[in-house]
């Protein structure tokens, strides 16, 4: 019995030590661009591209329409769905160049948050700080309007 308890304690300490590297999310910020783009950005999907199975809900189309109005702002924002790791995205803008943004509530909420904050006069850096603090999580996609 004593060996089992000691083994569990050692295993717990090893797991705790291994997870310590993930304890500060600020050190693990997703990819973004700190400055405005220096060349034209790839286009965000629009018009007839916003139909089909990836756009079954009106909030998906709304998120893309919002994204299309603030491409330079999205270029300067991280995306916390971690598509930088899995898909090679370099900012939130990348999510809306294809259908990924329509499939991911994190991307849509961050884009809607960025649009709303831009309309309030916030700078991309201020919006990024809000995204880093998780303010985008309170966005209700169902009620988002242009």
pTM of the full predicted structure?
Answer: 0.81
How far does Cα 90 stand from its chain's mean position? 11
Domain that holds residue 75: 29-143
Asked if the structure places residue 4 within a domain, the reply is no
Q: What is the pLDDT of residues 54-91, one digit of tens each?
A: 999 999 999 999 999 999 999 999 999 998 788 888 89
Q: What is the 3-state secondary structure (H, E, C) of 50-76?
A: HCCHHHCCHHHHHHHHHHHHCHHHHHC
The total of structural domains in the chain comes to 1
Q: Which residue has the higher pLDDT, 16 or 44?
A: 44
d(CA 7, CA 2): 8
Scanning the structure block, which residue is given the tokens 């304690």? 9
User: Per-residue pLDDT for 14 more than 50?
Assistant: no
Q: How many residues does the chain have?
A: 146
Scanning the structure block, which residue is given the tokens 């700080």? 129
The pLDDT assigned to 3 comes to 59
Count of H helices and E strands in the chain?
A: 8, 0
The pLDDT assigned to 4 comes to 57
Asked if the structure places residue 6 within a domain, the reply is no
Q: Which of 99, 51, 75 is nearest to 110 (CA)?
A: 75
């Amino acid at each position: 019995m004593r060996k089992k308890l000691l083994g569990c304690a050692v295993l717990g300490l090893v797991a705790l030590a291994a997870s310590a590297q993930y304890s500060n999310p600020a050190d693990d910020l997703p990819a973004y661009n700190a400055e405005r783009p220096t060349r034209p950005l790839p286009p965000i999907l629009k018009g007839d591209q916003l139909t089909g199975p990836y756009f079954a809900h009106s909030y998906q189309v709304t998120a893309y329409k919002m994204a299309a109005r603030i491409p330079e702002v999205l270029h300067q924002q991280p995306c916390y769905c971690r598509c930088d790791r899995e898909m090679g995205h370099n900012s939130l803008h990348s999510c809306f160049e294809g259908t990924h943004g329509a499939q991911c509530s994190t991307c849509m909420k961050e884009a809607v948050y960025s649009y709303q904050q831009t309309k309030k006069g916030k700078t991309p850096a201020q919006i990024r700080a809000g995204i880093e603090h998780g303010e985008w999580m309170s966005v209700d996609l169902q009620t988002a309007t242009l």
